Amino acid sequence: MKYATILLAGIILFSCNAPAQNQNVNAEKFQQHAAEPGVQILDVRTTREYQNGHIKKALQADWLQQDQFKDRIQYLDKTKPVLVYCASGGRSGKAAEWLAQNGFQHIENLEGGFTQWKLENKPVEGMENVIQLTTAEYEKYTKADATVLVDFGAEWCPPCKLMAPVIDAVENELKNKFKLVKVDGGVNTEIMKQLNVAALPTFIVYKNGKEVWRKQGVTEKAELIKQLQ
């Protein structure tokens, strides 16, 4: 009888302390849930990223500045859903975990982040003055020299930052043997769609105006040099 009482108390305690719901959702579900009443949308990118375009009604708290982030988060309602996003899903994933560990009950993280949102032509605010790279401009760059390396990256992309010294090393080793074209993947989503560039960083090599190789993600210096020779 005593065992049954203890067990029942344990069940009640467990039910009163149910874990927070923290899940990844695609852009379509994110958009649907964002339209529901009482939902809080949280952009954890930098102020500059936010100003270059954001989801309607999104609040901004930079995950990379923890003091700012925690200060702004205290004004959110822990009992209401929080839809969180960043540029590609990495920072917002960490922010979602933090929210779950600090009392927020329902958190959804946008898979692929704001980049995926734009790739699916979802509505964006604050991008009126952002000029996209045109197809004609892109072709002009890639056909200008015999060998061209196109680097699709962004300042806010961790693996892109990891690749920056690698690209510098390749340029030093193959001086004047190829042309480097850097494309900001956080802005130029139209050309990304046309070229089926789904993630950052992505590297494409052109020779005599034709694509001969591409690689997504972190790449060894030796592999890049091999493809450029």
Categorise residue 89: left if φ over 0, alpha if ψ from -120 to 50, beta otherwise.
Answer: left
Instruction: State the catalytic residue, choosing from 157, 167, 170, 228.
Output: 157
Those residues with Cβ within 8 angstroms of residue 96's Cβ, 6 or more apart along the chain or in another chain: 22, 84, 107, 108, 109
Instruction: State the catalytic residue, choosing from 160, 197, 200, 205.
Output: 160
Q: Which amino acid is at 36?
A: E
Nearest to 113 by CA among 66, 70, 58: 58
Q: Six-digit token pair at 176?
A: 């004047």
Q: Is 165 helix (H, G, I), strand (E, B) or coil?
A: helix
Categorise residue 16: left if φ over 0, alpha if ψ from -120 to 50, beta otherwise.
Answer: alpha
Residue 160 annotated among the catalytic residues of the structure: yes
Q: Is 142 helix (H, G, I), strand (E, B) or coil?
A: helix
Exposure of 211 in the CB half-sphere (CA atoms within 13 A): 10
3-state secondary structure 197-226: CCCCCEEEEEECCEEEEEEECCCCHHHHHH
- List active site positions: 157, 160
